[in-house]
Amino acid sequence: MRRTGGFGTVAYYWLAAAVIILDQWTKWLVVRYMQLGESIPVIDNVLYITSHRNRGAAWGMLEGQFWLFYLITVIVVAAIVIYIRRLKPSERLAGVGLGLMLGGAIGNFIDRVFRKEVVDFIHTYIGTYSFPVFNIADSALTVGVILLFVHMFFFATPEKGNE
């Protein structure tokens, strides 16, 4: 029988809350203090803070399809919460990954609901390639997915059915 919930589970929700707060605070700073398109070098030719807006999904795909993003986000958030509640105490890596994914999904959802666009501002260059501008929520989602895959491929053990 799987353990549901428990004290350890709360930490994953706190992690999600921390991601949401950091994400929304950094986006507020960009909107408040930067002009759209303005760019501040942090490390020349590598990292910039660039005020950018995105009305679609990753890299601007499906621009303006808000109803689709709302629906997908609600389903994803519900699924993440269900999986977090079903985690075993030994599945901390998966829990951290899911907490990051939950915070990232909600962070960008807040933007879509209240701004009708997502605020992006982290602009990196890999050599001469200008990587698409992203934000804290995007970073949390990406790291969360990577941690979940690492957990699944290296640490998860298949469960035996009740036969």
Residues 45-57 have a mean pLDDT of: 90
pLDDT exceeds cutoff 70 at 12? yes
Number of residues that this document lists for the chain:
163
Q: How confident is the model at residue 58 (pLDDT cuts 50, 70, 90)?
A: low
Residues 15-37 have a mean pLDDT of: 98
Residue 13 in 3-state DSSP? helix
Q: Is 129 exposed, middle or buried (0-12, 13-18, 19+ CB in 10 A)?
A: exposed
Give the C-alpha distances (Å, rounded to integers) separating 153 from 3, 66, 150, 157.
22, 33, 5, 9
- pLDDT above 90 as % of the chain: 78
pLDDT exceeds cutoff 80 at 4? no
Q: What is the pLDDT of residue 156?
A: 78
Q: Using CA atoms, how far apart are residues 63 and 100, in angstroms rounded to an integer?
A: 24
Q: Describe the chain by its helix, strand, coil percentages, rounded to 5.
A: 60, 15, 25
Instruction: Give tens-digit pLDDT for 130-153.
Output: 999 999 999 999 999 999 999 999
User: Is the Cβ–Cβ distance between 4 and 86 less than 8 Å?
Assistant: yes
Catalytic residues: 120, 138
pLDDT exceeds cutoff 50 at 96? yes
* Higher-pLDDT residue of 66, 64: 66
Q: How confident is the model at residue 2 (pLDDT cuts 50, 70, 90)?
A: very low
Q: Using CA atoms, how far apart are residues 126 and 134, in angstroms rounded to an integer?
A: 14
Instruction: Give tens-digit pLDDT for 68-85.
Output: 888 999 999 999 999 999
User: Is the Cβ–Cβ distance between 36 and 51 less than 8 Å?
Assistant: yes
pLDDT exceeds cutoff 60 at 5? no
Torsion of CA 90, 95, 97, 103, to 10 degrees: -170
